[in-house]
Amino acid sequence: MVERNLLEGNYNKADSIVEQYKEKYGDRNAVLYYMDRGMTLHLSGSYEKSNYYLSEAEKRIEALYTKSITTESGAMFTNDNLLPYEGEDFEKVMINLVMALNYVYLGKLDDALVEARKIDHKLNLYNDKYEKKNVYKEDAFARYLSGILYEYKGELNDGFIAYSKAYEAFKDYNTNYGTPVPAFIGEDLLRLSKALGLHDEHKKYMEKFPNVKWKDIKEMQSNGELIFIYYSGRAPFKEDFFIDAPVPDISGDPYYLRIAFPRFVAQPSHIAYARIYIRSKNLEEKTYLMEDITAIAKKNLDDRIGRIRAKAIGRAVVKFTTAQTAKKAAAKKYGKDAGIIVGGLLNIASVVTEEADKRSWRTLPDKIQMARIVLPPGNYNIEVHYIGAGGEIIDKKTFAGISINSREKKILTHRVIK
């Protein structure tokens, strides 16, 4: 029901449904509840409330960092779903990304930059925590958003640094997730390196982006800018991936060992990109992919699958040992047939209860895209066409009477689930 209302653009209804199901989420899924509320409220324009719930999710996650030994021990015998959900690493980062956007809409740019810095801190923390380093070690979109905000505030040096780091991060995104470097990042680097008098850097980026047309800082500051962000599709979901292996038990009888791992399944959008038209100025621009959440989710899970497998195998060994001990005791007390029955029942129970943790933040989108258009001050009707892979128009949306002031960076967002 939540997804259907998101599909239809009924964000308030989607949020009310999540709220109604709070008890069904339960305490073990409280983080999911707060994240889902945060996203539905973000989409409905309730930015203060969205940040309240996302902040609550973050507090819960921090509290769960030191898990209860008793609860984790119990999960060894059944499945990870006994543990309170604390979110995938990428989901924890998305909390701060959505909070940063909320603060932008509220006009609290400093608070938005705090959230962007939290992302950097979290990613460093996660990589320090693991022996094998994660592919997801930098968030290019968060870096790029920081650059926009610093430039908006007139802090050009910090803006240039953020854009430079975003450029490097997008090159990694291209390698790891197939996300191309957005076309407009060259414009930003050329504009700010020129404004700051960084001659060597400007020359370097002129060589890297020889065909890029860019506006100097004075022209940018005498105009305003429309920044269009749209969320497309649905986040991936997790399903069980089972490995079943028949092995002989202590008596030579067959024992079916089952191990469950989670894997993400993509729910890709049919929309390839959006094209924005401002008819009164005869302007059009296309969006560029900024964050492929599905690709990040899959890689992030792959990075820790070894740790998940080790725990799942350990859990299977504990179940096997428990079953064999009980079988041996029953056979000794009641006879061989009783031992076989007890062992068989415990084997069935171990197979039935073996389940991967399939919880995830389902109200996230599949991808985030962005377009930037420089405009003179005025009121505009913004027409958006959502384009499929074959060039066909899948959907349309018009934002009427959007005012743009000089020096302003007006951010519009829209969610499309198709």
Residue 187 in any domain: the answer is no
**pTM listed for this prediction:** 0.89
pLDDT digit string, tens, across residues 99-122: 999 999 999 999 999 999 999 888
Cβ(139)–Cβ(123) under 8 Å? yes
Residues 6+ apart with CB under 8 A from 66: none
Cα gap 15→111, rounded to integer Å: 25
User: Residue 69: what pLDDT?
Assistant: 45
- Is residue 40 situated within a structural domain? no
pLDDT at 248: 82
What pLDDT shows up at residue 311?
A: 82
120 falls within a domain: no
Can you read off the two tokens belonging to residue 65? 């960092």
Q: What is the count of structural domains for the chain?
A: 1
The pLDDT assigned to 76 comes to: 53
Task: List the chain residues with pLDDT less than 50.
Answer: 69-70
- Distance, CA of 166 to CA of 152 (rounded, Å): 17
Q: Is residue 227 part of a domain?
A: yes
In a domain? residue 39 = no
Percent of the chain with pLDDT over 70: 95
**Contact criterion met (CB below 8 Å) for 383 and 274:** no
Measured between alpha carbons, how far is 399 from 383 in angstroms, rounded to an integer? 6
Q: What is the pLDDT of residues 300-348, one digit of tens each?
A: 999 888 878 888 888 887 888 887 887 778 777 788 777 777 777 878 8
pLDDT at position 329, please?
A: 80
Residue 323 lies in a domain: yes
Q: What is the pLDDT of residue 383?
A: 97
Domain containing 412 equals: 223-418
* pLDDT for res 229: 96
Q: Is 175 exposed, middle or buried (CB count within 10 Å of its CB: 0-12, 13-18, 19+)?
A: exposed
Note whether residue 410 is domain-resident: yes
| 393 found inside a domain | yes
